[in-house]
Chains A and B, each alone.
Chain A
């Protein structure tokens, strides 16, 4: 049976997901994991467009946001009438999904007329349109403050009220697994295959007798459905939905997640969603410049690893199976120090610029690092940071050529091993 190995691998993973709230019972960790679950569905739904259909969308938040608003309205309505209780909450993501689906059908009919660059532009315009229409209807979108509701109402279901965050976590995990399964199954349907065809060669797809525009439209509508599920879950998780969830910022974030994770593999966006959500929370606690580092990281990925993290994983896979990776480890170890030095220098420069420039209020030009006070108005920290950056960079260039050379050897040997 072909499906068995996946099943065997899936069981421990499932056990991990179930056990996680007991390993990290802190409220902070729990809400972070909830966020990751929602982001995972959202990023996977985005990759249905970018990775599978080749549609680069800059307005995917529309489906997420509209789904969230739909779910929020139902939640408010159900909470007001007091009926249903936990059942409503369990089914709520489906409402969000339907909202996203309808939005996908309506907007997709316009946007999917074109593919490629023009689709990207139009998706941006349509996204902006929805985001700027939303504040005009306070009754529907709650204006500036957004809409909020209480997810706990009615009679508990077997003791489940969805009051505690842990119960919400399990709901999110369940929906995330269901949605991920659905999206993965979709890649194996004729529609999923035709989406790949319409991505790679629309003309050829047309010759086979399919209508690429129709394929794009269906994929967009379905992707809207899954994005809506994520939106519905976010409505439950945060108990508030604001106009921001429709906006360009959310669209940009999901693009970053999917791309950094890797759009070429199904599991790529999952890595991206987890990593980006984590970085977002972790980095923003340490530095105000985290968005800058984030942008830099993204550009670096575009330039150096356009396949995302998943492609790097994929690259290491075959050599690892043949036991050839031991050739590369020493080179990696040699490159680790210059990488660390360059990064330290870069971070130093950025933080110093940030301190002396208008980014911070006056008087905050010094801060503490490892117990030492650093004063950005003096020249010493600048010299040190620049030296680290330049010196580390030069060293890294040399170290990296060693890595590249070793990789060439490994790839050659791997190809030979495969033939055998």
Chain B
């Protein structure tokens, strides 16, 4: 029971982190039709910026400054890069973001080196928050969840209750009409792109020290985030939310479970060589593959994703 609760909490906090990434990605995708391959790179940049800022002025300013900085970088990239390739069509756009992801990883290599940096949880949050049966649950995880949920609330509020949210939602489906009504749609695009990048960076700020801040972190999370938005249904924020939590929980449980098929095989009486080859794999080893298998299953049985509206 204790194991179950702790894993569930860890899974939810990881899932919320994934949602912070996938929400920006899915918003950018449904608005501009651009699948931002570099999205996870902004997550990584967030973590590295936060590391650099926190060594100078501490964690709390970094929590605010790093996402803002990355947001500005993202906006500039949209304005001076993405907008220029837009005229060539979708494939060059994708290639541009792909090249960007590649370049950002190399920049990180050049500036911060190839090994992980020592980005730590701030001392103020390095204590046990509450008792889960026999063990203390770390306060930082609680903080992560709180930040994620606050961000989620802010995003929801911005999209549904503010003027800019209204324009964004209108521009999702009727960009030309919004433009005709006198709104600066390209600027809205830039804002959404920058905002999405800032969200990803915020996830990096709070996730980088909980996990590890290294050059491979973008690639590790990047493909999972794609899985999330495919499973959730492209362009669907609610779908992305469900898929993020599901994948977060599934992966956390699988990593924690030290269970292998071999016992099951033995029980049913299959002890051949093939059984040993497959059976010795522990579920925890199998964890990295689970999201992809989920994606493949979804693609076979429900190609538009959990909450996707159209079957494009």
Chain A interface residues (CB < 8 Å from chain B): 50, 54, 56, 58, 110, 113-114, 116-118, 120-122, 124-126, 128-129, 132-133, 136-137, 139, 248, 252, 255, 259, 289, 291-292, 294-296, 298-299, 302-303, 306, 350, 353-354, 357-359
Contacts and interface: CB of A to CB of B under 8 A. Distances in A.
A121 B230 contact: yes
Contact of A128 (B103, B114, B223): B223
B152 interface: no
B77 to A, nearest CB: 10
Most buried by A among B29, B112, B230, B234: B230
Contacts, number: 122
Interface of A is mostly: helix
Contacts of B292: 125-126, 128-129, 132
B312 A121 contact: no
B180 interface: no
A136 B286 contact: yes
Given A120-B94, A295-B99, A298-B99, A125 B230 contact: yes
Contact of B230 (A116, A122, A128, A133): A122
A289 B110 contact: yes
How many interface residues does chain B have, given as a range?
35 or more
B96 A125 contact: no
Contact of A292 (B84, B103, B281): B103
A305 to B, nearest CB: 10
A105 B295 CA distance: 18
11 contacts: A136-B289, A137-B277, A139-B277, A255-B95, A299-B96, A299-B100, A303-B84, A306-B95, A353-B110, A353-B111, A358-B112
Contacts of B234: 118
B107 interface: yes
A110 B296 contact: yes
Nearest to A138: B277
A296 B103 contact: yes
Given A302-B95, A302-B99, 9 more contacts: A56-B95, A117-B90, A125-B292, A292-B103, A292-B107, A294-B106, A295-B106, A303-B84, A358-B111
Contacts of A259: 95
Nearest to B291: A125
Contacts of B285: 136
Q: Rank and list the top 6 A-B pairs by shortest CB-CB distance, nearest first.
A: A129-B292, A295-B103, A358-B113, A292-B106, A357-B111, A299-B99
Interface string B270-300: 0000000100010001101100110110011
Contacts of A255: 95, 98
B92 interface: yes
Contacts of A295: 99, 102-103, 106
Contacts of A137: 277, 281
B66 to A, nearest CB: 18
Most buried by B among A137, A255, A289, A302: A302
Contacts of A136: 281, 285-286, 289
B226 interface: yes
Given A124-B223, A136-B285, A306 B88 contact: yes
B289 A132 contact: yes
B49 to A, nearest CB: 14
A248 B295 CA distance: 18
Interface string B63-101: 000000000000000000100110010111011101110
A125 B300 CA distance: 14
Contacts of B281: 136-137
Contact of A252 (B102, B227, B300): B102
Contacts of A126: 292, 296
B110 A113 contact: no
A116 B90 contact: yes
Interface of B: 29, 33, 35, 81, 84-85, 88, 90-92, 94-96, 98-100, 102-103, 106-107, 109-114, 219, 223, 226-227, 229-230, 234, 277, 281, 285-286, 288-289, 292-293, 295-296, 299-300, 303, 312
Contact of B300 (A50, A110, A359): A110
Contacts of A122: 230, 295, 299
B18 to A, nearest CB: 15
A54 to B, nearest CB: 7
A350 B303 CA distance: 45
A306 B85 contact: yes
Contacts of A299: 81, 96, 99-100, 103
Nearest to B230: A121
A225 to B, nearest CB: 22
Contact of B33 (A117, A289, A302, A353): A117
Contacts of B223: 124-125, 128, 248
A259 B29 CA distance: 23
Most buried by B among A125, A133, A354: A125
A302 B100 CA distance: 11
A291 B96 contact: no
Contacts of A358: 111-113
B164 to A, nearest CB: 26
B280 to A, nearest CB: 9
Contacts of A306: 85, 88, 92, 95
A295 B103 CA distance: 5
Contacts of B84: 303
Contacts of A132: 288-289, 292
B95 to A, nearest CB: 5
B98 A359 contact: no
A308 B120 CA distance: 44
B226 A121 contact: yes
Contacts of B94: 56, 117, 120
Contact of A357 (B81, B110, B293, B300): B110
Most buried by B among A117, A137, A291, A350: A117
B107 A303 contact: no
A259 B94 CA distance: 12
A23 B111 CA distance: 42
B103 A124 contact: no
B295 A125 contact: yes
A117 B102 CA distance: 18
A7 to B, nearest CB: 34
A306 B223 CA distance: 25
B296 A129 contact: yes
B9 to A, nearest CB: 26
